[in-house]
Amino acid sequence: MKKEMKKEELFNSVFLLQPSRPILCTTINEDGTDHISTFSWINPVSYKPPRVALALLNKPKKQKSLENIERTGEFGVNIPDMSMIEKMVECSYSTKFGENKFERSCFTRLPSVYIKPPCIEEGMASMECKVLDMIDTGDHTLIIADIIYARYNEEAYSPNLLIKIPKFRPVIHLQNFNLEKSQVHVFLSSDSTETVEVPYPTKKE
């Protein structure tokens, strides 16, 4: 039996596409400091030349990362491992004025080669991206960007870029639920047999 979605709940149909593979996006703030946030809506959109598209919320409030990317035209894409899921959810908190998410999450800065935002040392791979185009797609802005530089952890990928399990356990994000003042993010466990819930906020408020 197929269950039809009612017109008034059709907006939820996008979640039928879950799970997703979230990344950590690094950008530069207006004051020159660095910033990290967690985003799932990212996809390759061209092979030669290599390009990705990243969708960031623009309404009712623009993501800080989107403001940073609009202003600077560049960002880093960092591929996490399951060992990083708590920090990833922490990187999705909105920060207080002056708070730095690199300091808060204790990720290590990996200097980038061609862009200003640093990448993340703990990531399994990182890509340096330059914006090609931006399209307002509704309540998100689709950022289409060239990958101008990439590097990966040789212990995590084979030479033909096959993930080396168990050294690299990919993050599979199933869903998130909004609670009254908080959120719970649900991931697939490393052995794919159960779900792992990461509440937000978990610590430090």
Ligand X SMILES: Cc1cc2nc3c(=O)[nH]c(=O)nc-3n(C[C@H](O)[C@H](O)[C@H](O)COP(=O)(O)O)c2cc1C
Question: Where on the chain is the footprint of ligand X (CB under 6 A)?
Answer: 22, 37-41, 55-57, 63-65, 89, 92, 94, 173, 185
Minimum distance of ligand X from residue 121's CB (angstroms): 20
Burial of residue 165, with CB atoms counted within 10 A of its CB: 0-12 exposed, 13-18 middle, 19 or more buried: exposed
Minimum distance of ligand X from residue 84's CB (angstroms): 11
Cis peptide before 199 (omega within 30 of 0): no
Which amino acid type is present at position 34? D
Minimum distance of ligand X from residue 1's CB (angstroms): 31
CA 110, 111, 114, 115: dihedral to nearest 10 degrees? 90
**Cβ nearer to ligand X, comparing 53 with 156:** 53
**Cβ nearer to ligand X, comparing 95 with 153:** 95
**Cβ nearer to ligand X, comparing 48 with 204:** 204
Minimum distance of ligand X from residue 26's CB (angstroms): 11
d(CA 149, CA 41) in angstroms, rounded, equals: 21
